[in-house]
């Protein structure tokens, strides 16, 4: 049952990317064997020389096989390399003899994938990074999986990570209601991200709390840890026990909200993508810390695509490094962004139950919680951990290979 909810959101990206690679790259590079031809988008000779080949007839081999790493030094590469001869050989392979008599044999599919046409580049980049996102609002039914199944079954783990990438949030149900489960799940991927709050951290109403999260107060929509210049990419939060009153979670799709802001209030969007904001965090936990960072509230790449959202009003510094005339416009822009996020049609409400493990994209989602009541015999307890996207994407790619091989 649960697989169907994950598969629905996880599959389209995978299917689209693999089929698109085959057909678009194929169309753009119809003649892989004719490496010296005039089409500008095909791999160039300089580029192809020194790449991984199926056969390398004269030493040194371009790639050292155990490390899968290029050995040819850039200083030894003839950037005007010509070609002695090229032929298509059996099994759809392309054999190239270079002027120095070195022979390389390439798989035609491998060459096609590396075609420089924009269609081929786009589809290979999508296959590698899965940057296509499914935007959502309050109507989202959170993709759900089974905690134990994800631990033991590769197909379930792949569906989980694909949905986590595409939708930004997956709830895994049925985790034992005791500490240690976020660490087990992190092991499934590789390793977790250590921060000043420890390898894993306990969200509880604590005496002398060193973070607002460790009280019973409301947390407004935020991303975790903008006080770190490289904030954690992924967050796991496991509900061990829930409050009797209050403590409900709120979530919003930050990438979607940034898009709405750009459409509705381009001036505010410009302000939040171009103003560096100071964050700070100080105290003692894993060890003592005194962090300072400068971040854009909405981080975009050179093409204007949103990469990351950084918001936490609890750790936004009282220091604001702006000329005074920019202060009011900055607050106006922050307020405009917050007002969009807090619209009921954008905000997703969820009440975590003991055994729920929320896994979400901390570069994309904002999350919050309602205040709660700590009673003499009721205590709320969540355990959390961070991971980075590199490790998560690494596991996703490995699982994709192994699961697809079996299919």
List of residues contacting ligand OGA (CB under 6 A): 203, 213, 219, 224, 249, 367, 369, 382
- Shortest CB 381 distance to ligand NM2, Å: 13
Region of 221-229, 249-257, 259-267, 294-302 interacting with ligand NM2 (CB under 6 A) = 221-229
SS3 letters across 160-189: HHHHHHHCCEEEEECCCCCCCHHHHHHHHH
- Shortest CB 379 distance to ligand OGA, Å: 12
**104 or 223, CB closer to ligand OGA?**
223
Nearest residue to the partner ligand OGA, using Cβ: 213
Q: Is 236 in the site for ligand NM2 (CB under 6 A)?
A: no
Task: Reply yes or no: is the peptide bond before residue 60 cis, omega within 30 of 0.
Answer: yes
Q: CA 353 to CA 341: how far, in whole Å?
A: 24
Of Zn ion, ligand OGA, ligand NM2, none, which one does residue 225 interact with (CB within 5 to 8 Å by kind)? ligand NM2
Residues 179-208 that bind ligand NM2 (CB under 6 A): 197, 201, 203
H/E stretch holding 97:
strand 93-97
Region of 9-17, 35-43, 49-57, 223-231 interacting with ligand NM2 (CB under 6 A) = 223-231
**157 or 213, CB closer to ligand OGA?**
213
Cα 380 off chain centre by: 29
Extract the tokens encoding 266.
């381009």
**224 or 265, CB closer to Zn ion?**
224
Region of 19-27, 91-99, 219-227, 300-308 interacting with Zn ion (CB under 5 A) = 219-227
Is 192 within 8 Å of 384 (Cβ atoms)? no
Of ligand NM2, ligand OGA, Zn ion, none, which one does residue 93 interact with (CB within 5 to 8 Å by kind)? none
Q: Is 278 in the site for ligand NM2 (CB under 6 A)?
A: no
**170 or 213, CB closer to ligand OGA?**
213
H/E stretch holding 3:
helix 2-28
Is 218 within 8 Å of 370 (Cβ atoms)? yes
Of ligand OGA, ligand NM2, Zn ion, none, which one does residue 106 interact with (CB within 5 to 8 Å by kind)? none
**2 or 225, CB closer to ligand NM2?**
225
User: What does the DSSP assignment read for 79-95?
Assistant: TT---SEEEEETTTEEE
- Shortest CB 323 distance to ligand OGA, Å: 32
Burial (CB count <10 Å: 0-12, 13-18, 19+), residue 209: middle
Q: Under DSSP, is residue 227 helix (H, G, I), strand (E, B) or coil?
A: coil
**42 or 369, CB closer to ligand NM2?**
369
Q: Under DSSP, is residue 323 helix (H, G, I), strand (E, B) or coil?
A: coil
**104 or 362, CB closer to ligand NM2?**
362
Is 166 within 8 Å of 11 (Cβ atoms)? no
Residues 355-394 that bind ligand NM2 (CB under 6 A): 384
Phi, psi of 185 (to 5 degrees): -70, -35
Of Zn ion, ligand OGA, ligand NM2, none, which one does residue 273 interact with (CB within 5 to 8 Å by kind)? none
Q: Which of 146, 224, 253, 356 binds Zn ion (CB under 5 A)?
A: 224
Q: Which residues pair with 349 in a beta bridge?
A: 250
User: Which 8-state DSSP code applies to residue 77?
Assistant: -
**163 or 341, CB closer to ligand NM2?**
341
Is 260 within 8 Å of 340 (Cβ atoms)? yes
Q: Which of 136, 160, 225, 363 binds ligand NM2 (CB under 6 A)?
A: 225
**127 or 224, CB closer to ligand OGA?**
224
Q: Which of 53, 144, 315, 362 binds ligand NM2 (CB under 6 A)?
A: 315
Q: Which residues pair with 284 in a beta bridge?
A: 288
Is 157 within 8 Å of 405 (Cβ atoms)? no
Q: Which residues pair with 222 in a beta bridge?
A: 367
Residue where the block lists tokens 């403590």: 247
Q: CA 97 to CA 241: how far, in whole Å?
A: 67
Nearest residue to the partner Zn ion, using Cβ: 224
**25 or 382, CB closer to ligand OGA?**
382
Is 199 within 8 Å of 173 (Cβ atoms)? no
Contact residues for Zn ion, defined by CB under 5 A: 224
* Residues at the site binding ligand NM2, with contacts judged by CB under 6 A: 197, 201, 203, 211, 213, 224-225, 227, 281, 312, 315, 384
């Amino acid at each position: 049952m649960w697989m169907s909810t994950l598969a629905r959101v996880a599959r389209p990206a995978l299917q689209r990317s693999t089929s698109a690679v085959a057909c678009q790259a194929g169309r753009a590079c119809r003649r892989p064997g004719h490496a010296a031809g005039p089409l500008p988008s095909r791999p160039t000779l300089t580029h192809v020389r020194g790449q991984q080949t199926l056969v390398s007839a004269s030493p040194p081999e371009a790639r050292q096989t155990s490390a899968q790493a290029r050995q040819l030094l850039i200083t030894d590469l003839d950037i005007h390399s010509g070609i002695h001869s090229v032929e298509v050989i059996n099994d759809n392979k392309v054999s190239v003899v270079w002027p120095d008599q070195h022979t390389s044999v390439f798989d035609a599919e491998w060459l096609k994938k590396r075609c420089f046409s924009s269609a081929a580049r786009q589809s290979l980049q999508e296959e590698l990074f899965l940057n296509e996102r499914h935007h959502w609002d309050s109507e989202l039914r959170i993709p759900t999986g089974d905690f134990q199944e994800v631990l033991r079954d590769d197909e379930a783990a792949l569906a989980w990570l694909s949905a986590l990438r595409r939708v930004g949030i997956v709830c895994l149900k049925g985790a034992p209601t005791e500490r240690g489960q976020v660490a087990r799940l992190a092991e499934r991927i590789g390793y977790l991200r250590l921060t000043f709050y420890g390898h894993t951290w306990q969200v509880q109403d604590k005496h002398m709390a060193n973070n607002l999260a460790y009280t019973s107060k409301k947390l407004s929509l935020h991303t975790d840890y903008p006080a770190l210049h490289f904030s954690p990419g992924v967050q796991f939060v496991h509900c061990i026990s829930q409050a009797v009153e209050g403590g409900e979670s709120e979530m919003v799709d930050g990438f979607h909200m940034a898009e709405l802001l750009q459409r509705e209030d381009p001036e505010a969007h410009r302000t939040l993508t171009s103003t560096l904001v100071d964050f700070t965090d100080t105290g003692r936990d894993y060890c003592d810390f005194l962090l300072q960072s400068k971040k854009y509230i909405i981080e975009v790449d050179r093409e204007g695509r949103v990469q990351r959202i950084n918001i936490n009003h609890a750790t936004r510094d009282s220091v604001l490094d702006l000329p005074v005339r920019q202060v009011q416009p900055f607050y106006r822009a922050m307020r405009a962004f917050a007002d969009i996020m807090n619209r009921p049609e954008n905000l997703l409400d969820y009440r975590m139950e003991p055994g729920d493990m929320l896994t979400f994209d901390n570069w994309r989602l904002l999350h919050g919680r309602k205040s709660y009541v700590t009673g003499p015999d009721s205590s709320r307890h969540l355990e959390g951990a961070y991971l980075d996207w590199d490790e998560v994407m690494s596991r996703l790619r490995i699982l994709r290979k192994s699961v697809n091989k079996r299919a």
